[in-house]
Amino acid sequence: MVKHAVEANFDGLVGPTHNYAGLSWGNVASKSNVSSVSNPKEAALQGLAKMKRLADRGYVQGVLPPHERPHVPTLRALGFEGTDARVLEQAAKSSPSILAAVSSASPMWTANAATVSPSADTSDHRVHFTPANLSAKFHRSIEHTVTGRALKSIFADESYFAHHPALPSVSHFGDEGAANHTRLCAGYGEPGVELFVYGQVAFNEQAPAPKRYPARQTLEASRAVARLHGLKDQHAVFAQQNPEAIDGGVFHNDVIAVGNGNTLFYHELAFLKEGEVLSDIRERLTGAELEAVRVSSADVPLEDAVASYLFNSQLLNTPDGMLLAVPGECREVASVSRYLDDLVKSGGPITSVEVFDVKQSMRNGGGPACLRLRVVLNDEELKAINGGVLLTDELYERLTTWVEAHYRDKLSQDDLGDPMLLEEVRKALDELTGIMGLGSIYDFQL
């Protein structure tokens, strides 16, 4: 039986240690802004403003908490000893690169938090979550434990929600979560097609692969997640990302394609076998025809797509068609701005474009789509979640006040070893779990 459902967006709240360490090889924006002074307070407020704007439009908007950073338990596991202050001092002096990695606010990009399959697709008719192991990058590989705790706290009722541990944290099963996964459907509550996009086949060295930058997602990981979630063949399509796109800076599929409902908005260089991918989706999509909105290189060169993050946008239903929520950089790149004007006039499924200011995140390589995890919930499932994480006017005001009270407006690499910063972070997060009703999810709380 088809149930009414909504797609909730759970945005990551930018953490107090948001900084520009340039940790992500293959992410052009991340590397180009290395060592700049960041503004964590502005970054968090920009993210909250984006959430509030969408909540005010009637979308179900949730909040996912930042992680404890610097992550002292990781430093201790790497041999740094003594008090917390001493551990930070040692790391700052002898291994500043490691300290930068365990201080990253990267959990704000919750498109990488997990892969989520709605109950309409799964064999046991529960919503399934698998936190991404993010094994391609050290600074992100330490996220999945706390991500899993947060998701279990929010989606706690086992009669509606199923939680899996992250896949083995090795390159053969590199998993980047929903950044390489999208769902197409006639309606959110109807069975859909889950599109898993991978960069390489780990157990086949002869298979096509990028040459300049690493492929972070493997076919083996995507298939494992589909099995864990109980997806039958008619609910899953596995598509290889074009190696040329990865080498052009498209480190995740959500930098070159985005889907919503029965619409797939993508660049012509998104997939290695474009025709086959579209055919596989059309074969499995029921109740609606696939609307494939293809952007050519002639209209938007690949480098312009990457520079503007055109496809790292949110595609949202409105009463009058679909809204494309784009980062401000899309209006700063001539070819992209021109394309967007033509897109709205084209008579296709995307009927409006709105600009969102997320510059602090963009400088680190994450646009509007990076900042949110999509979770399709029917009415019963929505009632079953921890309501303390859903953005209301009251929660927005409380979180804004919380950010203003606890966040610095300037942060450099030299600040990461400051024991006072760690104390500030822990005090802030302890208060945040109370505000959001999350319980004890951080290592320092356990």
Residues with a known catalytic role: 176, 252, 370
Strand order, beta sheet including 193-198:
181-184, 193-198, 236-240
Strand order, beta sheet including 127-131:
114-117, 127-131, 161-163
Burial label, 141 (beta-carbon count in 10 A; 0-12, 13-18, 19+): middle
> What is d(CA 409, CA 103) in angstroms, rounded to the nearest whole number?
16
Cβ atoms of 314 and 325 within 8 Å: the answer is yes
Q: SS3 for 120?
A: coil
The encoded tokens of residue 102 equal: 């365990």
Say which DSSP state 66 is in.
P
**Omega cis (within 30) before 107:** no
Strand order, beta sheet including 321-327:
314-318, 321-327, 350-356
- Phi–psi pair at 186, nearest 5 degrees: -75, -35
Strand order, beta sheet including 372-378:
61-64, 5-12, 372-378
Containing H/E element for 394?
Answer: helix 393-406
> What is d(CA 339, CA 337) in angstroms, rounded to the nearest whole number?
5
Widest Cα–Cα separation across the chain: 64
Residues in the chain: 446
Query: Locate tokens 């930070």: which residue?
Result: 88
> What is d(CA 316, CA 350) in angstroms, rounded to the nearest whole number?
9
Cβ atoms of 125 and 376 within 8 Å: the answer is no
Catalogue the E-assigned strands of 144-302: 161-163, 181-184, 193-198, 236-240, 257-260, 263-267, 291-295
Torsion of CA 224, 371, 22, 213, to 10 degrees: 40
CA angle 386, 64, 409 (to 5 degrees): 135
Q: Which amino acid is at 139?
A: H
